[in-house]
Structure 1
Amino acid sequence: MARPGSEHPTNLELEILKVLWEEAPLPVREVRARLESQAQRPLAHSSVITMLNIMYDKGFLYRKKVGKSFHFSPRVRKDQIAGGIIDDLLSRLFDGSPSAMMLNLLENKEVDADELTELRKLITRKTREQEK
């Protein structure tokens, strides 16, 4: 039996969205060329068409007929996708605790001084907003 589809994009769907967030609308051949450049491996034209059509059906993309080909553009913003994935990760792995997730991130990844400064500013701003 097939695994149920995810509401979140797959890895390849994310790669396609990254291409289209950078520049859109693009025809299939341009999407394919950019994916191949990033992946350093050939991709079948028919595979890219299939993925783009699946993403269109899932509501991730717009599709517009231009001449004999379709041009694709993102229907979802990067922050929408990121927010959904983060919410899912937060609830499934960290029992809904943002602090547990942040502590895990800070303990397990290198964070440079500039990033720590930005995090402190954000925490200070959020604290002030909650005090109002």
Structure 2
Amino acid sequence: MPRAMSEHPTELELQILKVLWGQSPLTVREVRDALDASGRNLAHTTVITMLSTMVEKGQLEKLAPVQGKAFRFAPLIQRADVSKGMLGDFVDRVFDGSAEAVMLSLFDVADLDAEELVSLRKLLNKRLREAKS
């Protein structure tokens, strides 16, 4: 039985999106080379299959070839939208929607230095001022 299609990118889809968010449009070979450089060695046919699947899912667009048969691919979804959706889903599923629980857990698991804590305090103070106005 095939797995149900997720509303969020899979791990490999996310790796491909990160490559294309960094630079696009790219050919299959360029995507494969970028994945290989990051330690993910995949067969050329696997990358073709993944890119085609991502086009079908509406994550990428397939652009006409510039030279020869080299189609190029570009993301249709933005990094901010993907991260917001995935983080929101995670917060809902793991922390029952509690941002406070997420922050407390973050302080427990992340090794934050004084500079990062000051930066977080500034962001929280800004949000507090915005909430009061």
**Shorter-chain TM-score: what band?**
over 0.9
Give yes or no for the alignment of 1:64 onto 2:81.
Answer: no
- How do 1:96-107 and structure 2 match up within 5 A? 96-107=97-108
Q: Which amino acid aligns with 2:129?
A: R
Supply the distance in 2 between the matched residues of 1:95 and 1:123 (Cα, whole angstroms). Answer: 21
Aligned-residue offset at 1:114: 1.9
Q: Which amino acid aligns with 2:26?
A: L
What is the total number of aligned residue pairs between the two structures?
A: 131
Match of 2:11 in 1: 11
Q: Which amino acid aligns with 1:46?
A: T
Aligned-residue offset at 1:109: 1.4
Match of 1:73 in 2: 74
Aligned-residue offset at 1:111: 1.2
Q: TM-score, normalised by structure 2?
A: 0.94
Structure 2: where are the runs of 5+ without partners? none
Per mean C-alpha deviation after superposition, the further-off stretch among 112-121 and 96-105 is 112-121
Decide whether aligned partners of structure 1 residues 26 and 90 sit closer, same or farther in structure 2, where only a CA change above 3 A counts. same
Q: TM-score, normalised by structure 1?
A: 0.95
Supply the distance in 2 between the matched residues of 1:106 and 1:62 (Cα, whole angstroms). Answer: 39
Aligned-residue offset at 1:42: 3.0
Q: Which amino acid aligns with 1:9?
A: P
Q: Which amino acid aligns with 1:62?
A: E
Match of 2:123 in 1: 122
Give yes or no for the alignment of 1:31 onto 2:31.
Answer: yes
Off by >6 Å, runs of 4+ in structure 1: none
Q: Which amino acid aligns with 1:48?
A: V
Aligned-residue offset at 1:2: 1.9
Supply the distance in 2 between the matched residues of 1:42 and 1:9 (Cα, whole angstroms). Answer: 19
Aligned-residue CA RMSD (Å): 1.0
